[in-house]
């Protein structure tokens, strides 16, 4: 009996019984990605599987884009329960599943697959994971908030924007360096934001603006929650997402970045007296939701949280 390899490949998947036959428990869950070696998902899911008494384990699979169709087929024939999917496959898996949830359809990306008999069901748990993370961090629901999303044109920003619109948030301002992407998204989401019960004020309920100080300054007074879905902040030398002086004590600030745990945005927000949270909660809750899709039961959240914190050395 042995430990799982750091990373498996498609050729392993073709002979899964041989490649994983010496493991303590069968490898029936995985994360697909390219690259994949740095994924923390096994460190989050394996403690959860142990805590829930499941006789299976979760491994990393290095799948290249041209290998994806075969890998999806092998999920069924090799008796997998499901898989998570990370860069660059969220769009490819969207095209490869048999059915998908409404939120995944709206976002155009699948990050979780559940094997249901001979069918593959696609989900996007990033978006509802963010919603649960905001609730946990700030005891607030998206529906009650006026929200500004930076990086709305990227993958994570689109997921966040769709969730905010589906939850009929009070107001949604989509900010993107390439403003055309945010404008297209605002048009796609406009129909979700026309709840007649929400008060029509003098400001647009959904709009797109460029990632420029003058445009932010005009809107920031009408915002409760600021979400960073850009990659700005991963490096210490990155410029500010939003000038510190524009952050006010009443703002809630959610930075999707979790490494480093305290970004410049979070430090700036706290210096201004605002409440702030990093993206660890989103990572945790998207995993919790994936577990629940695979097993149809509540996930052991605290085991997953501990596993994630351990993987980050926190
Ligand atoms: P992505 O698809 O590459 O999108 C990046 C976004 O950031 C785009 O909107 C891009 O604008 C913008 N951007 C990049 N550099 C910028 C700069 N210098 N100035 C202004 N805008 C800039 O990336 P992603 O996959 O969405 O990930 C975005 C971030 O979210 C990453 O930090 C990632 O780690 C994090 N994330 C966290 C979680 C979690 O669970 N916590 C989950 C997913 C992602 P343009 O459109 O103009 O290029």
DSSP per-residue string spanning 60-104: EEE--GGGHHHHHHHHHHTT--EEEE-TT-HHHHHHHSSEE-HHH
Contact between 284 and 44 (Cβ < 8 Å): yes
Residue 274 lies in a domain: yes
Residues 239 and 301 in one domain: no
In a domain, 118, yes or no: yes
**In-domain check, residue 299:** yes
Identify the band that residue 202 occupies on the pLDDT scale cut at 50, 70 and 90.
Answer: low
Q: Mean pLDDT over residues 116-126, rounded?
A: 96
Does 90 qualify as catalytic in the annotation? yes
Nearest residue by C-alpha to atom 44 in ligand 1: 156
| Structure confidence at residue 204 as a pLDDT band (50, 70, 90) | confident
- Whether residues 149 and 263 share a domain: the answer is yes
Find the CATH number of the domain harbouring 300: 3.40.50.10860
What residue's CA is closest to ligand 1, atom 1?
A: 154
**Mutation probe of ligand 1 site: the residue of 163, 176, 182, 229 with most atoms within 8 A of C-beta:** 229
In a domain, 17, yes or no: yes
Instruction: Let me know if residue 153 belongs to a domain.
Output: yes
User: Nearest C-alpha to atom 40 of ligand 1 is from which residue?
Assistant: 283
Does one domain contain both 24 and 56? yes
Q: Alpha-carbon distance 178 to 312, whole Å?
A: 32
Residues 58 and 15 reside in one and the same domain: yes
Closest CA to 116 of 81, 84, 71, 83: 81
- CA 148 / ligand 1 centre spacing (Å): 15
Contacts of 66 (CB under 8 A, 6+ apart): none
Collapsing DSSP to helix, strand or coil, 128 comes out as: helix
In a domain, 3, yes or no: no
Residue 231 and residue 303 in one domain: no
Regarding whether 254 and 306 lie in a shared domain, the answer is no
Q: What is the pTM of this model?
A: 0.95
Residue 119 CA to residue 292 CA, distance in Å, equals 18
In the chain, the DSSP E strands lie at: 8-9, 27-33, 57-62, 82-85, 99-100, 112-116, 119-123, 146-150, 171-176, 206-210, 225-228, 252-255, 275-277
Top mutation candidate among 154, 176, 308 for ligand 1, by most atoms within 8 Å of CB: 154
> Residue 29 — very low, low, confident or very high, per pLDDT cuts 50/70/90?
very high
User: Which residue's alpha carbon is at the smallest distance from atom 19 of ligand 1?
Assistant: 177
Q: What domain count does the chain have?
A: 2
User: Residues 23, 53: contact at Cβ < 8 Å?
Assistant: no
255: number of Cβ within 10 Å: 26
Q: Do 99 and 137 share a domain, yes or no?
A: no
- Does some domain include residue 2? no
Domain span at residue 85 reads: 8-124+286-311
The arithmetic mean of pLDDT across residues 58-72, rounded, is 97
133 and 272 fall within a common domain? yes
In a domain, 1, yes or no: no
Q: In residues, how long is the chain?
A: 314
262: DSSP letter: S
Contact call for residues 185 and 208 (beta carbons, < 8 A)? yes
* 148 and 70 housed in the same domain: no
For residue 73, pLDDT over 90 is answered with yes
194 pLDDT tier (thresholds 50, 70, 90): confident
259-294 pLDDT tens trace: 999 999 999 999 999 999 999 999 999 999 999 999
Tell me: do 137 and 69 sit in the same domain.
Answer: no
Which of 156, 185, 282, 285, when mutated, tests ligand 1's pocket best, judged by the most ligand atoms within 8 Å of its CB? Answer: 156
Tell me which residues have their CB closer than 6 angstroms to ligand 1: 126, 151, 153-157, 176-178, 181, 211, 229-232, 234, 256-258, 279, 282-283, 286
Q: 138, 148, 170, 143: which is closest to 219 by C-alpha?
A: 148
Q: Is 274 found in the same domain as 298?
A: no
Burial label for 116, CB within 10 Å (0-12, 13-18, 19+), is: middle
137 shares its domain with 267: yes
For residue 253, the cross-strand partners are: 226, 276
CB contact at 8 A, 80 and 101: no
From the list 5, 54, 76, 90, the catalytic residue is 90
CATH code at 185?
3.40.50.720
């Amino acid at each position: 009996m042995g430990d799982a390899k750091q990373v498996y490949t498609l050729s392993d998947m073709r002979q899964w019984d041989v490649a994983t036959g010496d493991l303590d428990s069968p490898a029936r869950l995985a994360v697909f990605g390219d690259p994949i070696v740095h994924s923390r998902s096994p460190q989050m899911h394996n403690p959860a599987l142990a805590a829930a008494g499941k006789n299976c384990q979760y491994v990393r699979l290095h799948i290249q884009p041209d290998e994806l169709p075969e890998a999806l087929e092998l999920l069924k024939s090799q008796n997998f329960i499901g898989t998570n999917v990370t860069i660059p496959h969220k769009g490819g898996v969207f095209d490869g599943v048999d059915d998908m949830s409404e939120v995944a359809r709206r976002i155009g990306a699948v990050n979780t697959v559940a094997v249901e008999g001979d069918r593959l069901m696609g989900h996007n748990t990033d978006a509802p994971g963010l919603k649960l993370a905001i609730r946990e961090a700030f005891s607030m629901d998206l529906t009650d908030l006026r929200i500004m999303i930076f990086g709305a044109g990227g993958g994570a920003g689109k997921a966040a924007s769709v969730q905010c619109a589906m939850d009929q948030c009070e107001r949604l301002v989509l900010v993107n360096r390439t403003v055309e992407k945010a404008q297209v998204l605002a048009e796609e989401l406009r129909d979700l934001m026309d709840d007649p019960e929400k008060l029509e004020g003098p400001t647009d309920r959904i709009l797109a603006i460029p990632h420029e100080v003058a445009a932010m300054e005009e809107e920031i007074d009408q915002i409760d929650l600021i979400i960073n879905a850009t990659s700005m902040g991963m490096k210490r030398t990155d410029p500010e997402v939003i000038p510190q002086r524009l952050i006010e004590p009443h703002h809630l600030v959610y930075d999707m970045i979790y490494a480093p745990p305290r970004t410049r945005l979070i430090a700036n927000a706290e210096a201004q007296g605002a409440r702030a949270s990093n993206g660890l909660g989103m990572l945790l809750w998207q995993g919790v939701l994936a577990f629940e899709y695979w097993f149809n039961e509540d996930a052991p959240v605290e085991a997953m949280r501990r596993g994630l914190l351990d993987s980050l050395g926190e």
